[in-house]
Structure 1
Amino acid sequence: MRPTKYINVATLMILVTILTFMYSCKDNAKQEKRPNIVFIMSDDHAYQAISAYNDRLIGTPNIDRIADEGMLFTNASVTNSICAPSRATILTGKHTHIHGKIDNVFPFDTTNVTFPQILKENGYQTAMFGKLHFGNNPKGFDEFKILPDQGDYYNPEFITNKGDTTIMGYVTDIITDLTLEWFENRREEEKPFMLFYLHKAPHREWFAAPRHYKDFTKKNFPEPASLFDDYKGRGTAAKEAEMNIRKHMTVSADNKIYPEIAKELGIEEPSEWGYNVFKSKYSRFTDEQKAEWDAVYGPINEDFKKRYPSMTDEDYMRWKYQRYMQDYLGCIAAVDENVGRLLNYLNENGLSENTIVVYTSDQGFYLGEHGWFDKRFIYDESFKTPLLVKWPEKIKAGTKSSVMVQNLDFAQTFLEAAGVEAPEDMQGESLMPLLEGHPEEWTREGVYYHYYEYPGFHMVKRHYGIVNEDFKLAHFYYDIDEWELYDRKKDPMEMNNVYNDPAYVDVVKELKGKLKELRVKYKDSKELDQYYIQKYKDRGIIKSD
């Protein structure tokens, strides 16, 4: 009997060893399981129009869920506040003067490696749906369905891996339908995924869905305190920018007044562009869509036709502001609903726990502050961008961070989260210490900004600058040589340039030194400034000396 006993003990020991090994492997696999990534980006979505930041204009309960379950960044910013350059920076982790996409026209240097390429090479399934805004064949994606250029709100066309197609309906709903259909039918469950879910809305010219414009056109929204800003406290750049709501917003394309009525009233538009855009967008409607549209916007047009002849400049500004907000915020309502659809899908299919969800915009946007619409400036409403991140396995719910982060940082953050080494030429910093609750490991104090598109649309002058939590220093150059300094704590609306105030002499000296260091760190220089100015001359945008 003794040999049998020894055989049983030995067998038992082997079984215990095998089981221990199996559970150990299972635990290690669980620990090493790489996160999914859902990157949600809208176009021109101002942080002021997200109720997690401020609920004075609109409630966005679904977008807010990301902040409630994760982290809200209050000082997130961009490196260059214009659409295509911002998107190229996100993909490459490099400043615009490095990847080459300094404006919406300049070509992207296709030798750049994007972080989706790296993730794909390291086992991630990758997909992109929505608005990319540059390039028809995004690098590093197994599948894509993207809008050509700016895309259309109604019955949009899409560029895909397998050819172009037109899909009937409203673009924000369609982008979500395409995304959820991919989840249902082509997601490979054995792989982690990296999804780009990119909305056209709320980009100009703000065509809301019928379910929203029927409601939002009846609303009245609070005016910003600086709606009638006279720019006395600022320099030449603010005074000469062409993005004033009353003067430069088109009454036809932007405010939805039929061209024939605007012309009948003798309204002087900045150009024929607004009339042509309205006609182009209106012509995309089906007969049913036109009937719905006319039923709501027809009475608005008739009311305007009666009121306009007696309107003062102030009346006209206020009317245009309300029309702007009604359509812009109506577009955001659809974005919020559809973000909710995606979040619900992740929850219902057991994907939320190990998925990083990011909500951001390609930059900020003016909602009447300083009398403006659009973006481009280093001033907060343009320079700052919404950033909300949730990742239940790592981020404590309901946290906030005020440190200076940028869209420059996304690429390295995602790569580190995936356990992949970032290329040395990327210029951002991984947000992982902040996400994991270790802000003491974050060393950056100030961020660098550079805007190039001048002369150009909206005529915002070229400038670069440094921004930290307390101050903002900007240098406007090329056709002027002016410096501006803003005390972000004492003057959050940025109404008074204190660059020449004796009380800020030491601040100016310190920030100029740090700005010089950042220019060196990010490989920007006067020589590059002149290089890109010469490129504008070569394109005939700037007349040669």
Structure 2
Amino acid sequence: MKQPNIVFIMSDDHAAHAMSCYGSKVNTTPNIDRIASEGIRFDNCFCTNSICSPSRAAILTGKYNHLNGVKSIDEHFDGRQMTFPKLLQEGGYQTAMVGKWHLGHGGNADPTGFDYWNVIVGQGDYYDPTFIEMGQQKQYSGYVTNLITDHCLDWLEKRDERKPFMLMCHHKAPHRPWVPDEKHRHMYADVDIPEPDTFYDDYATRAQAAVEANMRIEDMLESDTKGKPPEGLSLIEEKRWKYQRYMKDYLRCVASIDDNVGRLLDYLESEGLAEDTIVIYTSDQGFFLGDHGWFDKRFMYEESLRMPFVVKYPRSIKPGSVTDAMSLNVDFAQTFLDYAGIAAPSDMQGHSLRTVLEGATPDDWRTAMYYRYWMHLDDHHNVYSHYGIRTRQYKLIYYYAEALGTAGSKDENRPPEWELFDLAKDHYEMNNVYGNPDYAEIAEQLKEELASLQRAVLDEPVEQID
């Protein structure tokens, strides 16, 4: 079978519940929806560490962060290790990386395994950003989302048409601070964005980690909301005001991404490439959109853990498919290699999603996943380090709350705590039932399964309390 082309489009901090194909209550994304309607939507795709650099490293290597060396945003990626772009390159593919890299620059941190790379510096700027193209810096005029797409289309135009290609198109948006383009600057001006059901969460039953996290809407800075709230507002009114300002700019940035996804899809169709190209849209993790009163990510709660993941490939994927099979960001590498007919290294830790994509999920497919957030009490968000297990019905989280030498963490321990949620009865994770006698047996079973998953991925547990 002919090796397919691969176009991997990834945004930064785009929550699944801000996509209309996932039932968004706050916006529409018609071009991203095209991928879902012409292919498959994954309803249970999760990241193994909900923060930018670690997720990107997991995607490239197919390995968990304790093995790929990027446990936090302060640890640079060592490009000497094996990645799926290198393997595709060795297998005859042309490879390109355009946009947000966020894994370090210079020396062994520069992108490797790519015939062409052109990446923004660090987080990048929304307007007039500086790119590093094959080691050379250059500033461009314009809006970053449009520019990234421009560079992608330019590379596609100049590629060697005799070879299959793999393009990674990585958008900066909708990462903080949220700056929309001119086209969408006044979008939503005359509407109120609906507040999520958990907007007024008081964390009453949760671990202290939820109470102490510094990511509440009311704590947003003037730079986040582009100005001060009007005088005379109550605390609740000020929170609502900040939420509207935050969400409107966030969704405006998403609208620009959606437009540019459409540009890429239109190009593939106009050039007769759509039939032979796997197109993926995802984000590096989820994001809180006022859920639990928060912005940002990091926690193992659903809105942060869940990744959007929609894929189309006309030759193999039935249009309009939906799956609830549990998939992870460490699966992506092996999936691409499988479709390319290239053997994956034995030390990759994911599983190819090909059978799931083609509607034949194996009977023994995973029913549980392992998560670990390593940064402890970072300077900005103050989230405790933790790990846990999510099954189809339950989630068990252990806040071990230690730095353990992880870069970007404070060496200030906190008392460890457990959280347990029955997702069937408590979809929004508002009621921690750890310590409830009715769930004692389930808690012990989940602890055993958590330990088994840790051993399977070669991670080491921290000493745990009961």
Shorter-chain TM range is: over 0.9
Contact 2:454/2:461 (CA < 8 Å) preserved in 1? no
What is aligned with 2:39?
Answer: 70
Out of 325, 328, 338, which is 2:260 matched to? 338
Residues 1:51 and 2:20 aligned together: yes
Task: Describe how 1:37-48 pairs up with structure 2 within 5 A.
Answer: 37-48=6-17
Out of 177, 184, 188, which is 1:212 matched to? 184
Once the 2 structures are TM-superposed, how far is the Cα of residue 471 of structure 1 from its aligned partner?
A: 0.8
Contact 1:246/1:320 (CA < 8 Å) preserved in 2? yes
Once the 2 structures are TM-superposed, how far is the Cα of residue 219 of structure 1 from its aligned partner?
A: 3.0
Once the 2 structures are TM-superposed, how far is the Cα of residue 508 of structure 1 from its aligned partner?
A: 1.1
What is aligned with 1:312?
Answer: 234
- Distance in 2 (CA, whole Å) between partners of 1:382 and 1:316 is 24
Once the 2 structures are TM-superposed, how far is the Cα of residue 102 of structure 1 from its aligned partner?
A: 0.5
What is aligned with 2:207?
Answer: 235
Once the 2 structures are TM-superposed, how far is the Cα of residue 162 of structure 1 from its aligned partner?
A: 5.5
Residues 1:470 and 2:439 aligned together: no
What is aligned with 1:281?
Answer: none
- Distance in 2 (CA, whole Å) between partners of 1:389 and 1:233 is 38
- Distance in 2 (CA, whole Å) between partners of 1:195 and 1:438 is 27
Contact 1:217/1:327 (CA < 8 Å) preserved in 2? no
- Distance in 1 (CA, whole Å) between partners of 2:151 and 2:215 is 35
Contact 1:433/1:442 (CA < 8 Å) preserved in 2? no
- Distance in 1 (CA, whole Å) between partners of 2:187 and 2:35 is 26
What is aligned with 1:367?
Answer: 289
Task: Describe how 1:350-429 pairs up with structure 2 within 5 A.
Answer: 350-429=272-351
Once the 2 structures are TM-superposed, how far is the Cα of residue 111 of structure 1 from its aligned partner?
A: 3.7
Residues 1:140 and 2:140 aligned together: no
Contact 1:72/1:387 (CA < 8 Å) preserved in 2? yes
What is aligned with 1:500?
Answer: 435
Count of aligned pairs between the two proteins: 447
What is the CA deviation profile of residues 245-266 of structure 1, one whole-angstrom value per residue up to 9, with x for unaligned ones? 102x112x10011xxxx5xxxx
- Distance in 1 (CA, whole Å) between partners of 2:436 and 2:58 is 35
What is aligned with 1:324?
Answer: 246
- Distance in 2 (CA, whole Å) between partners of 1:179 and 1:399 is 28
Out of 225, 231, 241, which is 1:255 matched to? 225
Once the 2 structures are TM-superposed, how far is the Cα of residue 159 of structure 1 from its aligned partner?
A: 0.4
Once the 2 structures are TM-superposed, how far is the Cα of residue 148 of structure 1 from its aligned partner?
A: 0.7
Task: Determine helix, strand or coil for the equivalent of 2:303.
Answer: helix
Once the 2 structures are TM-superposed, how far is the Cα of residue 212 of structure 1 from its aligned partner?
A: 0.5
Once the 2 structures are TM-superposed, how far is the Cα of residue 528 of structure 1 from its aligned partner?
A: 11
What is the CA deviation profile of residues 305-324 of structure 1, one whole-angstrom value per residue up to 9, with x for unaligned ones? xxx22100001000000000
Structure with higher helix content:
1
What is the CA deviation profile of residues 464-510 of structure 1, one whole-angstrom value per residue up to 9, with x for unaligned ones? 00111111111001322211111111111100011112221221121
Once the 2 structures are TM-superposed, how far is the Cα of residue 55 of structure 1 from its aligned partner?
A: 3.0
Task: Determine helix, strand or coil for the equivalent of 1:85.
Answer: helix
What is the CA deviation profile of residues 153-190 of structure 1, one whole-angstrom value per residue up to 9, with x for unaligned ones? 00111001161111101111111111111111x21111
Please report the RMSD computed on the Cα atoms of aligned residues, expressed in angstroms: 1.4
Output the amino acid matched with 1:254.
Answer: D
Once the 2 structures are TM-superposed, how far is the Cα of residue 441 of structure 1 from its aligned partner?
A: 4.6
Task: Determine helix, strand or coil for the equivalent of 1:57.
Answer: coil
- Distance in 2 (CA, whole Å) between partners of 1:73 and 1:438 is 14
Task: Determine helix, strand or coil for the equivalent of 2:381.
Answer: helix
Once the 2 structures are TM-superposed, how far is the Cα of residue 348 of structure 1 from its aligned partner?
A: 1.1
Decide whether aligned partners of structure 1 residues 346 and 442 sit closer, same or farther in structure 2, where only a CA change above 3 A counts: farther
- Distance in 2 (CA, whole Å) between partners of 1:436 and 1:58 is 29
| Structure 1 runs not aligned, ≥5 long | 1-31, 263-303, 530-545
Once the 2 structures are TM-superposed, how far is the Cα of residue 222 of structure 1 from its aligned partner?
A: 0.5
Decide whether aligned partners of structure 1 residues 528 and 495 sit closer, same or farther in structure 2, where only a CA change above 3 A counts: closer
Output the amino acid matched with 1:216.
Answer: Y
> Quick check: which has more Rg, 1 or 2?
1
Determine what percentage of the aligned residue pairs are the same residue. 50
- Distance in 1 (CA, whole Å) between partners of 2:284 and 2:213 is 21
What is aligned with 1:202?
Answer: 174
Out of 89, 98, 108, which is 2:58 matched to? 89
- Distance in 2 (CA, whole Å) between partners of 1:33 and 1:211 is 40
Contact 2:325/2:365 (CA < 8 Å) preserved in 1? no
Contact 1:202/1:328 (CA < 8 Å) preserved in 2? yes
Contact 1:221/1:325 (CA < 8 Å) preserved in 2? yes
What is the CA deviation profile of residues 425-450 of structure 1, one whole-angstrom value per residue up to 9, with x for unaligned ones? 11001101101211135521111100
- Distance in 1 (CA, whole Å) between partners of 2:125 and 2:303 is 25
Output the amino acid matched with 1:138.
Answer: P
Decide whether aligned partners of structure 1 residues 98 and 212 sit closer, same or farther in structure 2, where only a CA change above 3 A counts: same
What is the CA deviation profile of residues 48-70 of structure 1, one whole-angstrom value per residue up to 9, with x for unaligned ones? 10000023100000000111011
Decide whether aligned partners of structure 1 residues 528 and 491 sit closer, same or farther in structure 2, where only a CA change above 3 A counts: closer
Contact 1:433/1:441 (CA < 8 Å) preserved in 2? no
What is aligned with 1:102?
Answer: 71
- Distance in 2 (CA, whole Å) between partners of 1:70 and 1:211 is 29
What is aligned with 1:18?
Answer: none
- Distance in 1 (CA, whole Å) between partners of 2:175 and 2:268 is 27
- Distance in 2 (CA, whole Å) between partners of 1:327 and 1:527 is 40
- Distance in 2 (CA, whole Å) between partners of 1:508 and 1:392 is 43
Once the 2 structures are TM-superposed, how far is the Cα of residue 211 of structure 1 from its aligned partner?
A: 1.2
| Structure 2 runs not aligned, ≥5 long | 403-413
Task: Describe how 1:217-296 pairs up with structure 2 within 5 A.
Answer: 217-247=189-219, 249-251=220-222, 253-257=223-227, 262=228
Task: Determine helix, strand or coil for the equivalent of 2:132.
Answer: strand
Output the amino acid matched with 2:201.
Answer: D
- Distance in 1 (CA, whole Å) between partners of 2:35 and 2:415 is 43
- Distance in 2 (CA, whole Å) between partners of 1:464 and 1:458 is 17
- Distance in 2 (CA, whole Å) between partners of 1:346 and 1:46 is 26
